[in-house]
Amino acid sequence: MKSNSILSALTLLILLFLGSPCIILAQPVAPNLDVTPTKENSINKTSQYPQIFKTSSGQSESTPISTSPSKSSSSDPLLNTDLDTYYKSTFKNATWDEMVESGMKAYHSNDTETAYTSLFHAVNKGCESPLVLFMLGTASEARGNFYSAVDYYQMAKRQFNLSHSIHRFAKMVNESLARALIQSGNELEGYQLLEQSTKHNPSFWSLKMLGLNASAKNDIPSALSYFERALRATDSDTSVSEILELYLIQGRLFLKNNESEGATRSYQKALEIDPQNQEALMILSRSNKSQDSSQLLQMIEKMSL
Q: Is the pLDDT of residue 49 over 90?
A: no
Q: Using CB atoms within 10 A of its CB, is residue 257 exposed (0-12), middle (13-18) or buried (19+)?
A: middle
Give Rg (Cα) of the chain: 22
Mean pLDDT, rounded, for 39-46: 30
What is the reported pLDDT for 30?
A: 38
pLDDT at 141: 95
146 pLDDT above the threshold of 60: yes
The pLDDT, as a whole number, for residue 28 is 34
Structure-model confidence comparison of residues 70 and 302, the more confident one: 302
pLDDT value for 73: 56
Q: What is the pLDDT of residue 289?
A: 65
What's the rounded mean pLDDT across residues 225-241? 93
CB 241 within 8 A of CB 278: no
Report whether 71 contacts 51 (CB < 8 A). no
Rounded to an integer, the average pLDDT of 205-230 is 95
**Nearest residue to 52 via CA among 61, 42, 37, 62:** 42
Closest listed residue to residue 153, CA positions, set 127, 126, 125, 172:
172
* CA dist list (Å): 88 to 24, 25, 52, 91, 231: 24, 23, 25, 8, 38
pLDDT of amino acid 145: 96
Q: Which residue has the higher pLDDT, 294 or 219?
A: 219
Question: What number is the average pLDDT over the span 34-43?
Answer: 30
- The 10s digit of each residue's pLDDT in 22-33 is 322 223 333 333
Query: Would you call 88 helix, strand, or coil by DSSP?
Result: coil
Which residue, among 147, 180, 110, has the nearest Cα to 32 in the 3D structure?
147
DSSP category for residue 92: -
pLDDT in tens, 240-268: 999 999 999 999 999 999 898 999 999 99
- Sorted by where each begins, the domain ranges of the chain are 6-197, 239-304
pLDDT at position 192, please?
A: 95
Residue 201, SS3? coil
Question: Chain-centre distance of CA 27, in angstroms?
Answer: 28
One DSSP character per residue, 137-161 reads HHHHHHTT-HHHHHHHHHHHHHHHH
Region 39-45: mean pLDDT is 30
Tens-digit pLDDT profile for residues 121-133: 999 999 999 999 9
Helix then strand then coil, in percent of the chain rounded to 5, is 60, 0, 40
Residue type, 193: L
Asked if 20 contacts 300 with a C-beta cutoff of 8 angstroms, the reply is: yes
Looking at residue 194, what is its pLDDT? 95
Q: Give pLDDT, residue 303.
A: 78
Q: What would the pLDDT profile of 69-116 be if each residue is shown by its tens digit?
A: 445 556 889 999 999 999 999 999 999 999 999 999 999 999 999 999
- Pick the residue with more confidence: 152 or 297? 152
- Structure-model confidence comparison of residues 14 and 187, the more confident one: 187
pLDDT value for 288:
65
Q: What band does 295 get if pLDDT is binned at 50, 70 and 90?
A: confident
Just give the CATH number of 239-304.
Answer: 1.20.58
pLDDT bucket at 3, cuts 50 / 70 / 90: very low
The Cα–Cα gap between 164 and 138 comes to 21
